[in-house]
Structure 1
């Protein structure tokens, strides 16, 4: 927001410098982005009037002008400007003057004629880019007066960078309120004199959308002269605020918006489809051509002002071209309304529009002073354009409910870290114009109608801090005792798990939590994924229920860049619908958000080397990595043959831990290998993180001094019998029989099928059994007895037979 300092000081004029004013505003949260002078430095330039302009005797394009600069005698100036003519008041750089850029003016001869100074254009003075002629000054300018004083060129332009919550400061009046509160200077409110009503005429207006328009005001004004010239003082203020002058009616509307923060709209009354209006939501199929000549299609999310069933204006955003005022307009309807911020927010951006009105309405505009502001703008219209005004139509439809906000004085002091007295708080609220009451150290504040940002106790505490001054609050480091927190030995954090996975040779990636809908439906089997209401991209429209598709995309990205070996992992949340989940501090009703750990390995199991033949990574390599992560609890893992849409149907398994399903392991399905254009199938793993965070306590036991005995047990079993079932039977037998306590480990080391039998129904499994006693050396009889009991258990439980 840009405005001249002189406009602000017309409403509040504290006895502080421009630099101090800029600092005070910035420290109060209204950041002054920059301050620039209205005009560059120059001196010795005065207002002069051309008395005569005669043709130069020796040059066709020069004139010899006699100029009155307020002295006793006229001054002779040679000038080449085409608009130099008798009677004009123009800037004169006198002898000894200095122009922008350090140009010094003296007495010179031009084609044999002496010239004592220079008549200036706007470009030569740095006031504009116009170099086509002399800068013509208003008739009211006093001859001989310094140009800087005549045009108020010692003014400063302020540019504020406002935060979205401070909509009340999108006006000169709003900033003036802040300056008055910060400095204690008197605020001079613009005069809101009631207009003399000379017409007994109202335009019927029906508000059909109370959620769009909370209050509506308007009046008819007839007999205006739209060709009237906008006053120079108004044009000057508008231009210095970054607005160009258009016409008197448009300029007045823009001026009121900038000074009071009240966007208004002026309709050409004679162009309305019928002499009445209705406020409603748009309808599909309707179109509207706006003031910028853009034609838009309407829908139920856009508010309109309609007449005769046709939309005439886009509510709170931009007027329609069909009812726009022109230089021939004679009768107008002046509208000022309160549009709910929720009904305007985002609409202009959706339509790729940028309007000052929508910028204010979507942040919140004062709903309390609409009749007074209508009188203010009406007075300006009648004073400049003439006309007769009708009565104000002020409709209260659905005013916002402003709840009182309580602030505890002791909490204010605790949060700010300084002592603030009750008298200081009362003075602050009084300066800010807040209505309040206080009881037992608790202030109850009724937020003003123009402050939509005052909603909770902390908002009031922030106001105290702003007025006290953030720079006056000491920066004290927090003092707190340092207590060591116990770290449970049976729990490891997500960071620890990340380090362990990285130690296995995997690199961490972080992917988006929102993914392509096709991934969820095809790869993860989610027919009803969680869809985003406002996705950042059309292809990222749903929340992920698995980390695996993202890792596959990572592998493909690397493979396309000639990488032959990829090891990546991700630790993050997935999102699934679950009606049993309730709202909580970290939960959302109906949405389960567990953390998962996923690994993906692709390419050779190890980097190429001379001492070992190359081999591609397989199911068992990643299974081994998972067992390393589980450590001593790996024996509780179970891998059951099941199918998943993303995994190979014959090379995948569901993972169970302590009887609960925790994830999946397997090769990527050949369909997706082909679709992703990969040379081989990556091996994928995904498990719930909570299964990994709890670890077993280390058990200390005595190391045996006795030799270890190893025996092999080879058996035939049905091909349908899982190896895990055999291992479970062996472990159960060991747990039940004390004599088998010497069995330290049982592991599978060979699987064989007789090639001569083709598709045999049997397979041969070879187990290596390690036995050791802590006290004595095992003899053959004891070892044979142990092996016999294990063999017998397998024969009974799984119909195994010796090989």
Structure 2
């Protein structure tokens, strides 16, 4: 919000010596963040000049310019007339104009422009005669700014138009504008009135509320008032979209009448472009008081205005000349309940726009539901000055005063006459009283606030305070819809009394139990993978159906176990991810596309895993604690979100160099990572062959716990997946359920006693069918080997004529050890034979000679 300092002075007694920086610092002390302090972009010598002569000259390029002699008094240091070339023709000798002398700086869209004496069109032009746009005063660039025309109705300013006079002060280009950032809960500060109130709180200056006098002068509703009916059949959260609608009529208006210069200047300083008298007046009232207004051409209206929700398929052409398809939740202003006239609180329609033929206008000042307006503005991507205010909360009591000011300005400057028709329908719900203990601010903030301080602060911000002893009943003012709880009131006490008065005390942290088991597991997993050269990444948890299809997954099945985001950041990624790999591939693609050929990544994150239909969560009022049953329903509606671990590796794991050739990452490397994680967490895993997408058949492994719980899959990505995603060939990776792994790791780990007796090893080669997994054979050996079998290691796999077609030979090294004695050869042979017998029984294994 941009607040011109001279406009602010009308509402609050700002000291004459206070600068824009002083005002901004005061506003910061009460919580309004300073954005900037603006002044006119013109610097250097800018003076009033009187045109002495004009000599038109035609040039070969077809352009006619004027060689002018301009009296600038003593501003140029010599008192001699200044020679200036000018291409405009809307002035004449004797006119007073604005001249920027050499050394002056003008604002331009491309940055500051320093004016210098330069040769052009056969003359040395020592300066520049300026238009409004060149000075930043408006958009008019068709001709020179002639001061006699600008100040035709301001004799005092015209008297100051003498050659050599400082034009910066004359045009107000030395005035300051303070820009502040308005937070969503402080919508009343989207007005000069609201900012003036905050400055009064910060400085103690006297605030004069202009609304009081305007409201006293505003007439009450009349029987002849323009008919308005609110027919909202689809309220949001039980609240009507419009709870008050006021209207006034001005007849005989000269819409071509110029907007007074002071108003144009203020609008420009506040960041709005002057357009026409009717539009400028409504914008001026909105900026000054905070109530958005809208002006209708009365001749284009029917017999009644009806406020209702849109109907399916209904369309409206708004003032920006865009035809929009309306949503049933949009609130409309309609003619007789049929023809849409405007999108309530956002933007009016083109059919009732005030035009050059308008003579009678209907002014609207309504109060709309913030949520309804905010959703419509976002739905149609149509933010407006009106919607910014309505969605933050407009004072429902402000309408009559705003209409009165607008009518007064139109009558005064447009020659109109205030009509007797006054409409005021609806009854806004008054603010709810809030109960608060007197010592609650002291307990919450940690500062000893006396009862008198608490009461005086709350009354200063407009609250009505009633109560006795230790309990207060506080009724917030109509312009503070954000004050709903005792905590909100405490914030106001702390803010107005002064944040600087709150001491900085370092709190003593309570004793805790350290990291949880799940946190320790996640840190262990990250440490293990980082120690092996993998880089951790984070990806946004949103995917599209095209990504699921590219991974070769069943799109219908995958979307059935996740949820669709109601308002996604991207329409192409509306689903919560059911798999970490669906987003981790983006990080891999990005790194590869930027020249990284050898990449190893991992991510720990949440996925969505619905186990049934998605439950609908109830909506609740913002800022109010829902009842326990509502909180329980919200929690039940949240889908399960297990934490997963995913890894992707591509390129060389062992780099090539002078020391020898490199080695590409393969499935074995991913299995080694799984083993390292299992060892670090003291968890036993079982790896078996599998065939699921998005993995290459024959190069895919299922990872499970010893009890059969499946953790996930690892493998080499399927060639079609690699091609569809644009990944390097032979990319490997995997995804595991980290929550399941965490549960499995939640057990005490006991150190094994160091064996002091020697081990005994025996090698066996077993011939089995090619389809039998080596891990299954190993499991049988372990089961049959007994408690003295310390380790089983596969060290060779052979296929050939010697073992027969469709068969393979698996060579294992069995290690036996007793903690009590040295094993004999006979004992070791017996244990080995028992292990081989178990493999023969389970898999038909035959021992090779």
TM-score range, shorter chain: 0.7 to 0.9
Q: 1:726 to 1:462 in 2, by over 3 A?
A: same
TM-score by length of 1: 0.82
- Taking the aligned partners of 2:729 and 2:517, their CA distance within structure 1 comes to 41
Deviation at 1:571, TM superposition (A): 1.4
1:302 aligns with 2:346: no
- Taking the aligned partners of 2:521 and 2:270, their CA distance within structure 1 comes to 57
- Offset from partner CA, 1:314-354 (integer Å, 9 cap, x none): 32222233222234423222211112222221544554545
3-state SS in 2 of match to 1:345: helix
3-state SS in 2 of match to 1:663: strand
Match of 1:166 in 2: 186
3-state SS in 1 of match to 2:654: coil
Q: 1:604 to 1:329 in 2, by over 3 A?
A: closer
Q: Which stretch shifts more, 367-376 or 653-662?
A: 367-376
- Taking the aligned partners of 1:565 and 1:378, their CA distance within structure 2 comes to 73
3-state SS in 1 of match to 2:147: coil
Match of 2:37 in 1: 35
Equivalent residues of 2:334, 2:340 under 8 A apart: yes
Equivalent residues of 1:490, 1:696 under 8 A apart: no
Equivalent residues of 2:137, 2:268 under 8 A apart: no
Q: Which stretch shifts more, 179-188 or 144-153?
A: 144-153
1:643 to 691, 702, 716: 691
Deviation at 1:424, TM superposition (A): 1.0
Deviation at 1:678, TM superposition (A): 5.2
Q: 1:800 to 1:644 in 2, by over 3 A?
A: closer
- Taking the aligned partners of 2:598 and 2:47, their CA distance within structure 1 comes to 77
3-state SS in 1 of match to 2:520: coil
Higher Cα Rg, which structure:
1
Match of 2:400 in 1: 371
Gaps in structure 1 of 5+ consecutive residues: 68-74, 103-119, 735-739
Equivalent residues of 2:458, 2:489 under 8 A apart: no
In the TM superposition, 1:10-25 aligns within 5 A as 10-15=10-15, 17-18=18-19, 19-25=21-27
Deviation at 1:43, TM superposition (A): 11
- Taking the aligned partners of 2:614 and 2:273, their CA distance within structure 1 comes to 58
Deviation at 1:487, TM superposition (A): 6.3
In the TM superposition, 1:183-194 aligns within 5 A as 183-190=203-210, 191-192=213-214, 193-194=216-217
Deviation at 1:428, TM superposition (A): 0.7
1:543 aligns with 2:576: yes
Equivalent residues of 2:696, 2:718 under 8 A apart: yes
Deviation at 1:573, TM superposition (A): 1.4
- Taking the aligned partners of 1:578 and 1:343, their CA distance within structure 2 comes to 34
1:629 to 657, 669, 677: 677
Gaps in structure 2 of 5+ consecutive residues: 56-65, 74-78, 106-128, 616-630
- Taking the aligned partners of 2:739 and 2:319, their CA distance within structure 1 comes to 60
Deviation at 1:503, TM superposition (A): 1.3
In the TM superposition, 1:433-472 aligns within 5 A as 433-438=462-467, 441-472=470-501
Equivalent residues of 1:265, 1:335 under 8 A apart: yes
Match of 2:620 in 1: none
Match of 2:565 in 1: 532
Q: 1:585 to 1:701 in 2, by over 3 A?
A: farther
- Taking the aligned partners of 2:160 and 2:658, their CA distance within structure 1 comes to 95
- Offset from partner CA, 1:395-443 (integer Å, 9 cap, x none): 216x357444444454423443422222111111111101233455454
- Offset from partner CA, 1:136-194 (integer Å, 9 cap, x none): 23455348679899877875332223223321011121122222333343332322244
Match of 2:604 in 1: 571
- Taking the aligned partners of 1:678 and 1:381, their CA distance within structure 2 comes to 67
Q: 1:776 to 1:85 in 2, by over 3 A?
A: closer
Q: 1:84 to 1:76 in 2, by over 3 A?
A: farther
Match of 1:672 in 2: 721
Q: Which stretch shifts more, 130-139 or 683-692?
A: 130-139
Match of 1:141 in 2: 155
TM-score by length of 2: 0.78
- Taking the aligned partners of 1:342 and 1:256, their CA distance within structure 2 comes to 23
Equivalent residues of 1:579, 1:590 under 8 A apart: no
Match of 2:144 in 1: 132
3-state SS in 1 of match to 2:404: helix
- Offset from partner CA, 1:516-565 (integer Å, 9 cap, x none): 22333554431423222222223322111112233444444455556553
Match of 2:369 in 1: 340
Q: 1:617 to 1:293 in 2, by over 3 A?
A: closer
Match of 1:394 in 2: 424
Deviation at 1:478, TM superposition (A): 1.0
Match of 1:685 in 2: 734
Deviation at 1:84, TM superposition (A): 6.6
- Taking the aligned partners of 2:97 and 2:838, their CA distance within structure 1 comes to 115
Equivalent residues of 1:196, 1:389 under 8 A apart: no
CA RMSD of superposed structures (Å): 4.4
3-state SS in 1 of match to 2:361: strand
Equivalent residues of 1:619, 1:667 under 8 A apart: yes
- Offset from partner CA, 1:288-309 (integer Å, 9 cap, x none): 3333444444343433322253
1:9 aligns with 2:35: no
Match of 1:710 in 2: 761
Deviation at 1:205, TM superposition (A): 2.2
Match of 1:743 in 2: 789
Q: 1:76 to 1:101 in 2, by over 3 A?
A: closer
1:208 to 216, 226, 231: 231
Q: 1:38 to 1:779 in 2, by over 3 A?
A: closer
Match of 2:445 in 1: 416
Q: Which stretch shifts more, 482-491 or 150-159?
A: 482-491
- Taking the aligned partners of 1:687 and 1:124, their CA distance within structure 2 comes to 64
Q: 1:752 to 1:473 in 2, by over 3 A?
A: same
Q: Alignment length, in residue pairs?
A: 761
- Taking the aligned partners of 1:299 and 1:198, their CA distance within structure 2 comes to 33
2:836 to 776, 785, 791: 791
Q: 1:264 to 1:559 in 2, by over 3 A?
A: closer
Equivalent residues of 1:581, 1:592 under 8 A apart: no
Equivalent residues of 2:54, 2:92 under 8 A apart: no
- Offset from partner CA, 1:234-255 (integer Å, 9 cap, x none): 4454444344544433332222
Q: 1:466 to 1:507 in 2, by over 3 A?
A: same
Match of 1:594 in 2: 642
Match of 1:499 in 2: 527
In the TM superposition, 1:705-784 aligns within 5 A as 705-719=756-770, 721-734=772-785, 740-755=786-801, 759-760=805-806, 762-784=807-829
- Taking the aligned partners of 1:220 and 1:413, their CA distance within structure 2 comes to 52
